[in-house]
Copies of this chain bind each other. A is one copy, B any other.
């Protein structure tokens, strides 16, 4: 019955989700597990939401601050957003209900580099963490914890929180044990040492999370799956984007700038990265490595086929079919996957040392290579920067990918001026759309603009971009980065006013 909780002291603390939720008070800062819809607590947040709703109905305010690893799922972000139970959320989220509240101005949201969250907590920049709610796959006899399907910030939450509630989820395969690598060598300045990793394959820590047993005030047993978003096969635009990128990588190999095993891949989540992974397999690559945040379905397949020899990440993000495949071959995958804390999976020191190839999506790029990863029309947040900055700034190659248009072709992903900048011109090397690829390395601003407009813009918007750039080159105040300030954001304004970036008529 309690084979997942092997520590007798802990067994005594097993309670219901409702009992655990009753330990959370209004105004608390609560740190929770969860990263890309994996390893988040599933019962306590829902019980808490029910309690909040009852309190709100009784006229009592009840809101808390929630910190996680990254995005969670309807049972956490969705449930708490629905009852207006949050006053602050960080460092990343992707829930539609919560997004709507954030963009209505009802909830404060801090969008942070994922590698920074742990250390900012240690520094005290977010104040005290009153409580942590952490999903684990099991508790050892000595009280150490078998991590779940994501690690995220759990090491930091367990160490920094005043009290801890554990959710032990028996749905997570017991065979996860041994897959994680929790590095306990971090410290605060001035006591930091080099992180002793020189390859994504290096194990530098231990497979278990530590927790002070005296801090554990409740344990809740659960038995439920992760979010397990369905896997959508890549569409035509994604395949074209992947095709341009793969052609570029082949060219770099021919020029002798990349080895045939490339360099460790970082890959964002979604259709386009999956198309790139498929393309790598079709292209005959073998023996690659990944140093990334998330293991998606596409990566399992590459691991199985030997295209990838191993993958380092902080979380899974699998479909239900992916989970089945993982469970059916868990011994194989455990030898080839390492899950680490996100401060390590995204650490600038390691990303630069390993020389990653960073593949990230974007909302828009401007003609000079400034990238907007987070905001629609400069004001409405989509998800957040996530780890894209940790990787883009420090990688060997920083690639940003998007279809050249959105919303049925009415919105251009290449714009005169980015309406919000998450990655500056100083950090962008490659921009790819289904139209083509712009290699910006070693180019000055106007050279970048010419190649982005020519190679990446959709034909429906290309003449407008060229016209803007030509007039800017003629009339701009300064001609280093030519702009027409009265027009630079007019495409976004037109979109806000008319729903389209295309001029009327």
Quote the shortest CB–CB distance from A304 to chain B (angstroms): 23
Interface-facing stretch out of A8-16, A131-139, A191-199: A191-199
Given contacts A103-B480, A478-B375, A493-B485, contact A189 B349 (CB under 8 A): no
| Binary contact readout A419-441 vs B (1 if CB under 8 angstroms, 0 otherwise) | 11111111100000000000001
Contact A112 B426 (CB under 8 A): yes
Quick one: closest B residue to A422, CB to CB? B424
Quote the shortest CB–CB distance from A94 to chain B (angstroms): 14
A108 at the interface (CB under 8 A from B): yes
Given contacts A348-B348, A348-B349, A441-B125, contact A381 B104 (CB under 8 A): no
Given contacts A394-B348, A442-B125, contact A479 B421 (CB under 8 A): no
Quote the shortest CB–CB distance from A387 to chain B (angstroms): 11
Given contacts A354-B190, A480-B381, contact A396 B489 (CB under 8 A): no
Question: What number of A residues sit within 8 Å (CB to CB) of B?
Answer: 86
Main secondary structure of the interface of A (DSSP, over half): loop
Given contacts A189-B396, A424-B424, contact A485 B370 (CB under 8 A): no
A476 at the interface (CB under 8 A from B): yes
The listed residue (B188, B263, B378, B394) touching A481 by CB distance below 8 A is: B378
Quick one: closest B residue to A378, CB to CB? B483
Contact A426 B389 (CB under 8 A): yes
Quick one: closest B residue to A111, CB to CB? B426
Q: Which residues of B contact A370 (CB under 8 A)?
A: 421
Beyond the given A192-B198, A378-B481, could you list 11 further A-B residue pairs with CB under 8 A, ordered by the A residue number? A104-B479, A105-B446, A188-B355, A189-B353, A194-B198, A376-B477, A379-B472, A379-B485, A381-B478, A385-B426, A485-B492
Binding site for B on A (CB under 8 A): 88, 102-105, 108-113, 116, 120, 123-127, 188-190, 192-196, 198-199, 255, 257, 259, 263-264, 348-349, 352-355, 370, 375-381, 385, 389, 393-394, 396, 417, 419-427, 441-444, 446-447, 472-473, 476-483, 485-486, 488-490, 492-493, 496
